[in-house]
Amino acid sequence: MGRIFVIDDENAIRRLCYDAFTKEGHEVVTLPNGEQALKMLASHKPDLVLMDIRMPGEEGLSLLRRFPNEKGKRVPVTIFSGYVTQEIEKQAYEAGAIDVIPKGIEMGALRERVRKLLEARHRLFDEPKKESNKEKILIVDDEENICSLLKYFFEKKGYPTITAHNGEEAIALVEKERPSMILLDVMMPGMDGILTLRKIREIDPKVGVVMATGSQDELIAKEASALGSYAYVLKPFDLKYLELVVLTRLVIAS
**What is this structure's pTM?**
0.72
Q: Where are the domains of the chain?
A: 3-119, 128-253
8 Å CB contact between 97 and 64: yes
Note the pLDDT tens digit of each residue in 80-139: 998 887 788 888 888 888 888 889 888 888 998 898 889 887 776 655 444 445 689 999
* CA-based end-to-end distance of the chain: 19
Identical fold for domains 3-119 and 128-253, yes or no, is yes
Residues 6+ apart with CB under 8 A from 202: none
Note the pLDDT tens digit of each residue in 5-31: 999 999 999 999 999 999 999 999 999
The top-level CATH class assigned to 3-119 is alpha beta
CATH architecture, domain 128-253: 3-Layer(aba) Sandwich (3.40)
Phi-psi region of 238 (alpha: psi -120 to 50; beta: other; left: phi over 0): beta
The one-letter amino acid code at 118 reads L
Note the pLDDT tens digit of each residue in 136-174: 999 999 999 999 999 999 998 888 999 999 999 999 999
8 Å CB contact between 3 and 29: yes
How far, in Å, CA of 99 to CA of 128, rounded? 15
